[in-house]
Chain A
Amino acid sequence: MKKILSVILAVLVIFTLSACGTSQTPQTSVTPTQPASEPTKAPVNYPTKDITYVVPYSAGGSSDQMARVIAKYAPKYLGVNMVIENIPGGAGNVGLVQFAGYKKDGYSIASANTTMNLQPIYGTTEYDYIEIFEPIALVVSIPIAIAVPANSPFQTIEELIEYAKANPGKLQYGHAGIGSITHVTAELFAMSADIKMTQVPFGSGNDALTALLGGHIDIDVASLSEVLSHHESGTVRILAMCTDVQVGDIPTLVSKGYDVDMKVTQGVCTHKGVDPEIIKILDEGFRGICTDPEFISELESLGMDVDYLGAAEFSEFLQKQRKIFEEVVTASGILEMVKSQQQ
């Protein structure tokens, strides 16, 4: 009995002592290497310690991979190491919400993807991310494609549209989840081609691709990195690009007269309210990283094209993207669909 009391007492004492102690920045890490000399002599002394890079997805996904390559080049352009912190869950929401609670001192950054701009529109998120985060750089953009299985009767996108017009709702397309960028893109395509297709939701682009290969769905609207290799090996046929970029001899929807130009974008952001001098340093640092030829080729080998936009341009881009998203999501009925799942 006495022993237990003394233990409890000891714990209490230490608890009180630490509560009176100085508060620490969360996630400050101790790394064995010393930061290299600071590249910019700015009036504010930044960065002097490692930067935490929050990736709101699990290790191995495209955001995570991009983050790790960035972290590889960080010491060269920012002078400090980056520590990756994976906080997966809730389609990116869990990590972003946790990140929002970190100190706004510029020593933590997070992935800024299409999801970040799209999710708040459905009203299912804690915050509206573009209000509370400060964009730093757009790093990568991945085009979106419309694919059919190799044995599909459709050889061109026109044939598909013709069939769809004659048989509304009969064609089934897969995407990476309700409200996801591929879902939104597919509906945008349907709207501009004036056709009706039935959507089959999947948990990830990979699952949709599997179903496509098995012939369980007719079409897959997917990010290019998922389907390009299959297109090249012939197991899948990409009929058109939903992004205004030329890939091989695949026609773009834009060239066919349909106003569809969507892509998956992955970038980086920090908190709003961080010292503008620090933002400038980060902006410069990322400019260096994203224009480094080795960096570009490493990302390319992962299937991601570097499409760099600096802080100011990225900010504009996000605002424009948000407006387009809002329009499509309402007009296509996706917003309604998400809300109708809850009474």
Chain B
Amino acid sequence: MNIKFIKLQQLLSCICLALFIHIAHADEAAPLASDPVLEQRLVSISEEMRCLVCQNESLSGSRSELAQDLRREIRDLIKQGKTDAEIRSFMVDRYGDFILFRPPVKPTTWLLWIGPFVLMFAGIVALLMYLRRRNTQVATTSLSDDENKRIDALLRDDK
């Protein structure tokens, strides 16, 4: 009898769940894009491009007409089966490197890409060299706690 009851419960739960899913499905908002996978790829490509009209925004987020037109172009290119690199070339051929937020690595941008790491390496090396040299020169101008208290007292006396 218990088992039958449990089975009935399970059956009822299934039916309710099915009904609920059906209802939820009926109300569930449809994605705006007809092809979410394509849209995802569009977003990731256009996110790294500059809108040339609203130049502080990316091609992905900008609401300007040119941005909408260029997004339409990219969508078409994706549908044609072009790779990300080909789509980037398409844009660069027409608008130059300026449209890419990620500067391409070429001789004119070597300094840009390598610079920070060279700087970091140089900084650490310079630090180590400085520290080695420093330890051979010893001086004493730090203030001890007593000295600090004396300074306070002196300053107080001095109006």
Q: Do A and B come from one complex?
A: no
A-to-B contact residues, CB < 8 Å: none
